Amino acid sequence: MSRTEAARMVVRAIETIRRDEAGIYNSRRDLEPVLDRLRNEFQAELASLGVKGTETGARPPGFFSAVPVDRAQVRAGVASRDLSFVNSQGLRFQHGANGGLSFESRAQVGDFLTLYVQPEVDGNEEFGVARLGTGYAKLTLYNVELLVGRDSLWWGPGLFGSLILSNNAPPLDQIRIGSAEPFLLPWIGEWVGPTKLLGFVSQLEERRDHPRANLAGIRGTIAPLSVLELGASYANMFGGTDRPRLSGVDDYLRALFDPPASDQAANRRFRNNLLFALDGDLRLRNVNRYRVPSRDLRLYGEFGWDDTCCNSNYVPLKDAISGLIGVHLLGLFEIDGLDARFEYAESSKLSFTHNQFYRGYWTRGEVISHAIGTDGTAFNSRITSRVDDDLMVGVGMTRLVIGNTTNPVSGSQERRWGGAIDVTYRFGGVYSLFAQYQLTRTTNRNFVVGHDGFDNLVLLELTRSFR
């Protein structure tokens, strides 16, 4: 999102607190430092939006503003083996020393056009590569956003994965349209609450089962209660430049919105791999009054299924369903800045597979949705403590069972069990240092039986803000 969009979210938080006639937030001193950091970060944008009480002397950005280098980051790491990072936009490390450099550039025209690029350079002891990590142009008019470029999408409430779209794989080249801000639907808006809609279409890489296949998706969310958000997601991998090809609008509409048209040998032209998911996110505050060991509580879940054929698109088969549940404890033991997360996910033996897109729901070597792939499980836990305004410490444990999405499934499941500890420290007003050590016991690495061992990783990231 653009900085102006983020500033609007801060504005909504400020307005919510100012409208607190019932005094719900009177005792929530823990929210003050968070809000202060956000005000400081977006002071120029808040000034341009005319927010009172945020005057800091910052000049509002003009009609045209550009930041050649907004942030820059240098990364260095040492890995004991070749490994891939989960939920890191397809990042991989080779055995030995690895490094990387990236920076962000932004430009804004009024409040309707945003330009953003993030080039990056990665290298190791054997080779180096330069590429555009993320880059797009986004036009916003009348609460409608149109984005063209390369960007990641994450759908659903999970922290460690999503059953439809996550940032486990590299960003997608896409055209995306959606609502910039939540809005009320006509007639039923008062009952279903604020609504957001989003749709996109992307073209995948050349070197795959069906070259230049397309990926499209639609997501909608509603908030019938201030503490509850519900979402529905749909994704469809279809087409490709190899024969038989789609031709004409009717063919594309059939591949997109007629699920039974695919999965049959006689209808290879209409091949499509559909995925569906429903999710919910419940946020409860001041639950410590009910002997819950945290100040606030967040419960969330996601239920997904993969199409197999015909009616199973609408009534999912047991062998094609997947699920995710999570708990987020904020203010654990009523200690400010201490949070804990626990999340479990499971997929079935038909999840993310397909008989024509035989590599499965996959791009550039990584699963597009949850990293567990087919017939996998994941349990993740993470505890973070914000010691002060500049120091945060995190500890996490992970147990993954990863399945191959290739159809027919070959090889054994890869299993990972391990933990990590990390420290984030801000200093000098503009610098942030992230350090992490990770130890993982891996069996059947890359689905090869007997390819076992311990994986060690040391990672350092230094980020500098130029604002």
| Low-confidence winner among 245-249, 419-423, 440-444, 459-463 (lowest mean pLDDT) | 245-249
Tokens of 69: 């280098």
| Low-confidence winner among 15-24, 53-62, 225-234 (lowest mean pLDDT) | 53-62
pLDDT of residue 326: 98
Task: Read off the pLDDT of residues 182-240 as tens digits, 9 standing for 90 and up.
Answer: 999 999 999 999 999 999 999 999 999 999 999 999 999 999 999 999 999 999 999 99
Compute the distance between CA of residue 362 and CA of residue 151 in angstroms, rounded to an integer: 16
- At 36, is the pLDDT very low, low, confident or very high (cuts 50, 70, 90)? confident
Phi, psi of 61 (to 5 degrees): -65, 145
The answer on pLDDT for 65 being more than 90 is no
pLDDT of residue 47: 66
Are the C-beta atoms of 297 and 284 separated by less than 8 Å?
yes
| Low-confidence winner among 259-263, 283-287, 315-319, 339-343 (lowest mean pLDDT) | 259-263
Displacement of CA 393 from its chain's centroid (Å) = 22
Mean of pLDDT values over 453-462: 97
Mean of pLDDT values over 369-376: 96
Compute the distance between CA of residue 222 and CA of residue 379 in angstroms, rounded to an integer: 28
The answer on pLDDT for 55 being more than 60 is no
Q: What percent of the chain has pLDDT over 70?
A: 88
pLDDT of residue 292: 93
Average per-residue pLDDT in the chain? 89
pLDDT of residue 174: 98
The answer on pLDDT for 246 being more than 80 is yes
Compute the distance between CA of residue 106 and CA of residue 117 in angstroms, rounded to an integer: 7
Tokens of 280: 């919910």
Task: Read off the pLDDT of residues 139-184 as tens digits, 9 standing for 90 and up.
Answer: 999 999 999 999 999 999 999 999 999 999 999 999 999 999 999 9
Compute the distance between CA of residue 437 and CA of residue 381 in angstroms, rounded to an integer: 16
The answer on pLDDT for 32 being more than 90 is no
| Low-confidence winner among 128-137, 139-148, 309-318, 419-428 (lowest mean pLDDT) | 309-318
Mean of pLDDT values over 87-105: 95
Topology adopted by domain 62-465: Porin (2.40.160)
pLDDT of residue 254: 86
| Low-confidence winner among 97-106, 274-283, 299-308 (lowest mean pLDDT) | 299-308
Task: Read off the pLDDT of residues 390-408 as tens digits, 9 standing for 90 and up.
Answer: 999 999 999 999 999 987 6
Cβ neighbors of 127 (< 8 A, separation 6 or more) are none
pLDDT of residue 241: 93
pLDDT of residue 58: 60
Task: Read off the pLDDT of residues 309-330 as tens digits, 9 standing for 90 and up.
Answer: 665 566 788 889 999 999 999 9
Which comes out higher in pLDDT, residue 33 or 394? 394
